[in-house]
């Protein structure tokens, strides 16, 4: 196998293409947030350490607007660019990713961005720091924001029952509230853990990669299992909760949840690289390819039928768009203060997960940050975190490849490096 300069391997002379339907094998994806075998996995929370140093490298730099161009040098904007480049390189070299992108913003202004690895094994092209990627469970933060906007409009209450909004949707829905869906205390079974969806890698590439699902079919899978616990008595991450949240948005507004996310967030904030696809299998615009490392060589799994993830994780975005979204959210531009406070109220039962309503709290060596992360379980991983005052936000995309067991550790180093750099003493949030 040949070594690229950033440690990713390709078979000599091989052209790696997106596999035909039902042809290759799937392996355990390296997850930025600790992926499960399938579906959209739970975010990892807790305390961040700094981890070992990675190999030094220089992050990608591209011409940008004035705000981006101003933040490229070492320590500019309060960041240590060489240390961030080194941490990003470590995610590829030590962490085993085929490629990784990251961006640090301060009050909506990019102060550093980088890209490492190989964006396309067939051409050797480098990834773009401005590329698009599957955001997995970060989608939940978008969906939760829309649900809370509807609460603010008086369409329903956080403590209204699922039964009152979706009659007959789930057994015992009269005892499950909207709040419990958003903070994962409903006790409902996670449909991605069913054998029909949580299939082994070989079966997924042979039968599941291109399978189309409706929300009703996915919900029927969840309903075929007993709940994990009675509503409100424990915390268990379940994608079924956000499947139902998306259905509630559609029932109340008369429009698909995707259209509401577009209308209320994407269009409002001008997020030109963000989309919530229905059945589109590819990623429009520039993007790094995602690979699985198989005994016979790498298999390109960038393309996939995304309907299995639905409102739990179907989104596509960029690091710039994610930073814009989280900055607007934490600044109170998308939710009134009382509802933002509800969103940031951690469910006591969530324990170390520190999960609120579609968003989680993470402790770094330099204080607490808020955001979300996740994985499709197919090699696409993302993370988005920021300080409450908007002084620093970090967005990351990692395409898992070789499972070195160091993926989350190297991600911890990047996040800690980003948040522990000198932050601005004072700044005016941008609109």
Asked: is 2-6+33-61+68-420 a CATH 3.30.70.20 domain? The reply is: no
pLDDT value at position 40? 55
Which residues, 6 or more positions from 199, have their beta carbon under 8 angstroms from its beta carbon? 38, 207, 208
Q: How many residues does the chain have?
A: 431
Mean residue pLDDT of the chain comes to: 82
pLDDT at 67 over 90: no
- Residue 98's H or E segment, with its range, is strand 97-106
Mean pLDDT, range 293-298, rounded to an integer: 81
pLDDT at 427 over 50: no
pLDDT at 256 over 70: yes
DSSP code for 44: P
**What tokens does 72 get?**
């490229």
Between residues 36 and 248, which one has the greater pLDDT? 248
Percentage with pLDDT > 70 across the chain: 79
**Known catalytic residue: 137?**
yes
Spatial separation of the C-alpha atoms in residues 360 and 42, rounded to whole Å: 11
Backbone angles phi, psi at 294, to 5 degrees: -110, 160
Between residues 28 and 147, which one has the greater pLDDT? 147
Spatial separation of the C-alpha atoms in residues 147 and 87, rounded to whole Å: 36
Spatial separation of the C-alpha atoms in residues 188 and 180, rounded to whole Å: 10
**What tokens does 226 get?**
């007993």
Which of 21-25, 190-194, 298-302, 309-313 is predicted with the least confidence, judged by mean pLDDT?
21-25
**What tokens does 372 get?**
């979300």
Q: What is the dihedral of CA 331, 337, 340, 346, to 10 degrees?
A: 120
Which of 5-14, 270-279, 280-289 is predicted with the least confidence, judged by mean pLDDT?
5-14
Extents of the domains making up the chain:
2-6+33-61+68-420
DSSP code for 28: P
Backbone angles phi, psi at 85, to 5 degrees: -60, -40
Q: Which of 137, 186, 275, 411 is catalytic?
A: 137
Using left for φ > 0, alpha for ψ between -120 and 50, and beta otherwise, residue 332 falls in left
Spatial separation of the C-alpha atoms in residues 230 and 42, rounded to whole Å: 20
pLDDT at 32 over 70: no
- Which segments within 318-424 are labelled E, that is strand? 360-364, 367-375, 380-386, 393-400
The pLDDT tens digits of the residues spanning 298-324 come to 889 999 999 999 999 999 999 999 999
Q: CA nearest 316: which of 142, 115, 144?
A: 142
**What tokens does 35 get?**
């992926």
Give the Cβ contact number of residue 278 at 10 Å.
12
**What tokens does 41 get?**
């996995």
- Residue 299's H or E segment, with its range, is strand 297-300
* Inter-CA distances, 310 with 192, 307, 313, Å: 11, 5, 6
Q: CA nearest 129: which of 99, 95, 98, 102?
A: 102
């Amino acid at each position: 196998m040949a070594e690229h300069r950033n440690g990713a391997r390709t078979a000599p002379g091989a052209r790696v293409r997106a596999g035909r339907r039902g042809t290759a094998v799937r392996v355990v994806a390296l997850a930025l947030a600790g992926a499960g075998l399938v579906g959209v996995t739970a975010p990892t929370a807790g305390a961040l350490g700094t981890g070992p140093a990675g190999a030094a490298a220089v992050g990608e730099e591209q011409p940008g607007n004035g705000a981006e161009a101003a933040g490229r040098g070492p320590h500019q904007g309060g960041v240590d660019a060489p240390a961030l480049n080194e941490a990003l390189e470590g995610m590829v070299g030590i962490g085993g990713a085929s490629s990784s992108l990251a961006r640090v913003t301060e009050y909506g202004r990019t102060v550093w961005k980088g890209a490492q690895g190989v964006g396309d094994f067939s051409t050797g092209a480098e990834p773009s720091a401005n590329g698009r990627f599957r955001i997995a469970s970060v989608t939940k933060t978008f969906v939760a924001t829309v649900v809370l906007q509807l609460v603010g409009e008086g369409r329903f209450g956080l403590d209204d029952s699922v039964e009152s909004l979706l009659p007959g949707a789930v057994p015992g829905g009269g005892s499950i509230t909207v709040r419990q869906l958003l903070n994962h205390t409903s006790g409902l079974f996670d449909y991605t853990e069913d054998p029909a969806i949580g299939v082994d890698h070989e079966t997924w590439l042979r039968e599941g990669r291109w399978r189309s699902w409706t929300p009703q079919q996915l919900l029927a899978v969840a309903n075929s299992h007993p709940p994990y616990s009675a509503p409100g008595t424990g915390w268990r991450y379940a994608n079924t909760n956000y499947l139902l949240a998306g259905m509630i948005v559609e029932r109340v507004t008369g429009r698909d949840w995707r259209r509401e996310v577009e209308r209320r967030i994407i269009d409002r904030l001008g997020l030109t690289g963000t989309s919530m696809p229905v059945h589109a299998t590819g990623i429009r615009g520039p993007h790094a390819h995602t690979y699985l490392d198989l005994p016979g060589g790498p298999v390109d799994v960038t393309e996939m039928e995304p309907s299995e993830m639905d409102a739990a994780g179907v989104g596509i975005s960029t690091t710039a768009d994610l930073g814009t979204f989280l900055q607007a959210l934490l600044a109170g531009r998308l939710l009134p203060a009382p509802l933002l406070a509800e969103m940031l109220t951690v469910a006591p039962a969530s324990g170390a997960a520190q999960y609120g309503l579609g968003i989680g709290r993470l402790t770094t060596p330099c204080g607490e940050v808020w955001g979300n992360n996740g994985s499709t379980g197919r090699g696409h991983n993302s993370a988005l975190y920021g300080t409450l005052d908007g002084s620093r936000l970090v967005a990351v995309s990692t395409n898992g490849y070789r499972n070195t067991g160091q993926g989350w550790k190297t991600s911890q180093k990047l996040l800690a490096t980003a948040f522990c750099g000198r932050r601005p003493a004072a700044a005016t949030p941008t609109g």
